[in-house]
Chains A and B, each alone.
Chain A
Amino acid sequence: MTSRPLLRAAGAFLLLGLLLRADPPEPIRVGHFASLTGKEASFGVAGRKGIELAVAELNARGGVLGRPVDYIVEDIQSKAGESATAVKKLIARDKVVAVLGANASSNSLEAAPICQAAHVPMIALSSTSPKVTAMGTYIFRVCFIDPFQGAVLAKFARTTLHAQRVALLTSATAPYSVGLSGVFRERFTADGGVIVAEQKYAEGDKDFRAQLTAIRTLKPDVIAATGYYTEAALICQQARTLGLDLPIIGGDGWEAPQLIELGGAAVEGTYYSTHYSAESPAPEVQGFIRRYRERYDGETPDAVAALGYDAMMLLADAMTRAGTTEGPAVRAALAATKDFPGVTGRTTIDAQRNPSKPAIIVTVKGGKVEFVEAVLP
């Protein structure tokens, strides 16, 4: 019984201490889920670097709404099923106000219903499947969508490469690849071309000789491989060893330094579409590249890093305009984004919560990525 007053005194002291302490502003927590390991690790790591650069710049300017930005990243290991867990953790445990990510559309599709249910805005970085933002009113993205990308690729194959016959190689287990192949087929045939075959593989496959042998018999002018970079590099290598010396083209899933590291000489002369080019003379782009190089030992940012940077800046802009970090208000501000100047182009969010941005076609030459053309929407 005697300890009661003592305890009370201690409690009062503690309370006093808490009240008297100069309260620093509560940080704004922003979550990011990405494949930092595994076969799509290049996307996650590049995205993280872009976001971290944006966060550092925001905090150097005094944060957002006078509060510092706290960045929390979860690794989804390039595995199906991890995205849902990661996003639940970010929302329930870390209490993030918004979620950034992911890259592969399949991962974003997994996370979107959870963000929607929790009324936490989500901005996908390079998920180009149209289904992603259709998941709900809280789901946004900073990249173009596949109906546009597929049309750009089909037109490029038809007019620039003068292809008449194209063989498609689709990753049947990636919604991104299935969607892109579908649009490509539609647009290419509408332009008077012929799709001679569509061969399929599964994510993680390493042997494509069988599909390529079947394709070789049909003598196409161009092969369109619409999957991700790890498989694309192996596809190019195996195509070359089978004597298929034709142009191979792909989408933004190819955008990773690993494409050239894994593919070597076999990816020379291939083309793919992407979100930005480091060769662009625009001051926003060159300034971004300079700051990125300073921070990361002279490394040149790729498109995913640029999208990560843009997504974080877009979110900060929306929170500033909303004047709060409450989900519904930030969502409304994001949806009202107009002419936001980003590294990957001016962003205006449309009614389907997609931006319209130019696509860039690049080629691999001498072990380096070179700008070929930009296609406006």
Chain B
Amino acid sequence: MVEFFQQLLNGLSLGAIYALIALGYTMVYGVLRFINFAHSDVFMVGAFLGYYLGRLVPAGTLWGGLAVLAGAMAGCALLGMTIERLAYRPLRGAPTLNVLITAIGVSLLLEYSGQVFFGAAPRNFPAIFPVRTFHVGGLVLGSNQLIVILVSVVLMVVLQLIVHRTKIGTAMRAVSLNPRAAVLMGVNNDVVISFTFGLGSALAAAGGILYALNYPSVDPLMGLMPGLKAFVAAILGGIGNIPGAALGGLLLGTTETFVNGSQWSTYKDAIGFAVLIIILLFRPAGLLGRFTIEKV
């Protein structure tokens, strides 16, 4: 029983990170209807910003850790908006496929520039938050795992508030619903899209730092697998749907952890993806997604 709860905790802390990255995929899809493949590399840049900022603050303090987190989120928000402005905005109105290929290009550009600037060898991520271990019954709770879950929950609540309680959030939903009608109602689409990219990238940066805290080795290709998993999580929950992405991430993280702890650990990715296929067979739009007929 202790093992079950320990695995559940491991799974939730992994799933929370997938969820944070998945939110960025889903938000961009929501407003622009395309998958931003460079998102997983923004996640990587976030982790590296954390690595460099982490050397500037005193190690192992709560305020230092939060400052690094905020700094990396701001840096990546800027990066996300720059990518949107330079790579995607000129293609606004072009076929989705063109934008998709551009996104893959941006992704490769970030990965290989990363190898040039950061070097290809994995590096040790500093312990920016205080590290403590709590024993509850037979359960071992690492402070980093708790921080991951806590920060993820806070960020998701903040995101939900932004999307549903603020003017820019209303505008985001309006653009998502019908971009042309939004323009007619006086919404500045460029600002809204830019904001969406910034917000999504900030969440990716947070995900990157939390991931690096738990698995402290960072390298320029570290975004590939978590990015792919988060993408699956976004589809699983229903792409374009924010609570769906969170649910998908948690589901995928826990499934993966339980398989990993069993005798079938070699098949963990296969089983994770099989779950996706089965769910899509019964709910083609994902768990929380609504199936809509595309209007022509």
Listed in ascending order, the chain A residues whose CB lies under 8 Å from chain B are 37-39, 41-42, 77, 172, 199-202, 204, 206-207, 209-211, 213-214, 216-217, 230, 233-234, 237, 241-243, 258, 261-262, 264
- Indicate if the CB atoms of A41 and B124 lie closer than 8 Å: no
Report B101-131 residues with CB < 8 Å from chain A CB: 115, 119-124
In the bound complex, CA of A241 to CA of B222 (Å): 22
Label chain A's interface by main secondary structure: helix
In the bound complex, CA of A233 to CA of B135 (Å): 23
Listed in ascending order, the chain B residues whose CB lies under 8 Å from chain A are 2-3, 6-7, 10-11, 14, 115, 119-124, 133, 135, 140, 142, 144, 211, 214-217, 219, 221-222, 225, 256-262, 265-266, 269
Task: Identify 12 residue pairs between A and B in the complex whose beta-carbon atoms are under 8 Å apart, listed by A's number.
Answer: A37-B120, A172-B266, A199-B265, A206-B217, A210-B259, A213-B6, A214-B262, A216-B6, A230-B217, A237-B216, A243-B135, A258-B122
In the bound complex, CA of A262 to CA of B124 (Å): 5
In the bound complex, CA of A262 to CA of B219 (Å): 12
Which residues of chain A are near B133, meaning CB under 8 Å? 241, 243
- Indicate if the CB atoms of B3 and A261 lie closer than 8 Å: no
Closest Cβ of chain B to A268, distance in Å, is 15
In the complex formed, the residue of B with least CB distance to A45 is B121
In the complex formed, the residue of B with least CB distance to A208 is B260
Which residues of chain A are near B257, meaning CB under 8 Å? 207, 209-210
Partner of A258 from the list B2, B7, B121, B269 (CB cut-off 8 Å) is B121
In the bound complex, CA of A42 to CA of B261 (Å): 30
- Indicate if the CB atoms of A210 and B120 lie closer than 8 Å: no
List 20 extra interface pairs beyond A39-B122, A210-B256, A241-B142, CB under 8 A: A37-B115, A37-B119, A38-B120, A39-B121, A42-B121, A201-B265, A207-B10, A210-B258, A210-B260, A210-B261, A210-B265, A213-B3, A216-B6, A217-B3, A234-B216, A241-B140, A242-B140, A242-B142, A262-B123, A262-B216
Which residues of chain B are near A210, meaning CB under 8 Å? 7, 10-11, 256-261, 265
- Indicate if the CB atoms of A202 and B121 lie closer than 8 Å: no
In the bound complex, CA of A39 to CA of B222 (Å): 11
Which residues of chain A are near B216, meaning CB under 8 Å? 234, 237, 262
Which residues of chain B are near A262, meaning CB under 8 Å? 122-124, 216-217
In the bound complex, CA of A258 to CA of B122 (Å): 9
In the bound complex, CA of A17 to CA of B10 (Å): 74
- Indicate if the CB atoms of A211 and B261 lie closer than 8 Å: yes
Closest Cβ of chain A to B208, distance in Å, is 13
In the bound complex, CA of A14 to CA of B211 (Å): 65
- Indicate if the CB atoms of B266 and A200 lie closer than 8 Å: yes
- Indicate if the CB atoms of B266 and A209 lie closer than 8 Å: no
In the complex formed, the residue of B with least CB distance to A260 is B124
Closest Cβ of chain A to B10, distance in Å, is 4
In the bound complex, CA of A111 to CA of B50 (Å): 39
- Indicate if the CB atoms of B124 and A264 lie closer than 8 Å: yes
